[in-house]
Amino acid sequence: MANVVVVGAQWGDEGKGKLVDWLSERAEVIVRFQGGHNAGHTLVIDKKVYKLSLLPSGIVRGNKLSVIGNGVVLDPWHLKEEIAKLRGQGVEISPDNLMVAENTPLILPVHAEADHAREALKSIAKIGTTGRGIGPAYEDKVGRRAIRVSDLADPETLAARVDRLLLHHDTLRRGLGLEPVDREALIAKLGEIAPFVLQFAAPVWKVLSEKRKSGSRILFEGAQGSLLDIDFGTYPFVTSSNVIAGQAATGSGLGPGAIDFVLGIVKAYTTRVGEGPFPTELDDPDGQRLGERGHEFGVVTGRKRRCGWFDAALVRQTCATSGMNGIALTKLDVLDGFETLKICVGYQLDGEELSYLPFAADQQVRCRPIYEEMSGWSESTEGARSWAELPANAIKYVRRIEELIDCSVALVSTSPERDDTILVTDPFAD
């Protein structure tokens, strides 16, 4: 059976939640493989709105197994809150349909405190993090001092692991002007949350291997967007994990041979939250119109998203770095009514034309977009479920995007509703 990886192909907020939910109907297992609770996904099902930031989008469907993989950093207190909220909306969540990898690192209060303190320093440029401790938690993971889910089951060694962690953090906190961590309070807090988290703990790598062998279809769900990847994003204004499709293997415990189709989620225009370069950003009525029509506010932070024209040069890069087999184009309906549309096909940098965005941060800031113009359409595309329902110019726009990014369109989304989707190629087709 085919297994599919879904990744965002821009700076996030591309509409992954709806598409993963829509695709999860065809899968038995849905896996989150990176990021933390800094990534917001909004699902609209039968007019009912679900807002997720940590749990896999498949959790709102019955008879599916949702998995949080080892590539995620997990805030156990947020996990409890999010589960309680969804249960309050009638979603059934138990160890039967939710598993958390035993080797998943935890986000602790000290991580969020370090995040906020560093962002507040006027002596360094702000990265624009959500302040939820994601970055510091990943730092502890690679520094070999993280507290992991499995550690909660061993109180005798947990204290020693906390001491190792605080040896680093108390030193850091002195430099940031913060008081030392209350060791006993932290250990007590972990002891209180341990029973709740451990009920979901499992050897996820083993479970996924068995599911694959039995023929179950697996859907791997990424968070953020490829342009926030720690290696291939607009560094340093990026997240602290690998976002591109290759991370699905290491972030879940299945090898790369388990991946059959990589689907990139691409918004029909471009948005970005927080700091960092954005070549096609619009600070004009067109940009304001995109933001208003697209309801461009962050699910997690509520921050207003920056908006701009579609950047084909950037998406062409992310299609290459993730090895995408197809894209799902979302929010096409937001472009309804624009007389003229622009697509960025490359950049001007100090008089030289480039077909890609360079990695050097100072060069990224100086890149100016090279635009190609297309005629827009006055008809509505909202709710369209077939090519026949799309205006001719909307189809031309989609086809031109395919040409420019060198990747075919597999799906087109025309509203937040689950079924308002045009299926061109089924990623799960064997």
Catalytic residues: 13, 41
**DSSP code of residue 10:** S
DSSP letter string, 107-139: P-HHHHHHHHHHHH-TTS------SSSHHHHHH
**What is the Cα–Cα distance from 364 to 291, expressed in whole angstroms?**
23
Token representation of residue 257: 């041979």
**What is the Cα–Cα distance from 146 to 168, expressed in whole angstroms?**
11
**What is the Cα–Cα distance from 292 to 270, expressed in whole angstroms?**
14
Token representation of residue 19: 């598409």
Token representation of residue 285: 């009525």
Distance of CA 145 to the CA centre of its chain: 25
Decide: 305 and 272 in contact? Cβ < 8 Å: yes
Separation of first and last alpha carbons in the chain: 6
**In terms of C-beta density within 10 A (0-12 exposed, 13-18 middle, 19 or more buried), how is residue 196 classed?**
middle
Maximum distance among all alpha carbons in the chain? 67
Nearest CA to 273 out of 232, 237, 230, 244 is that of 237
**DSSP code of residue 58:** G
Tell the residue number behind the tokens 């430099």, with chain if given: 175
DSSP letter string, 352-377: EEESS--S-HHHHHH-EEEEEEEE--
**What is the Cα–Cα distance from 409 to 327, expressed in whole angstroms?**
5
3-state secondary structure labels for all residues of 274-331: CCCCCCCECCCHHHHHHHHHCCCECCCCCCECEEECEEHHHHHHHHHHHCCCEEEEEC
Our CA dihedral for 140, 37, 273, 235, rounded to 10 degrees, sits at: 20
Q: Which residues pair with 231 in a beta bridge?
A: none
Could you give the 3-state DSSP secondary structure of residue 30?
A: strand
Token representation of residue 50: 């679900």
Nearest CA to 317 out of 368, 264, 250 is that of 264
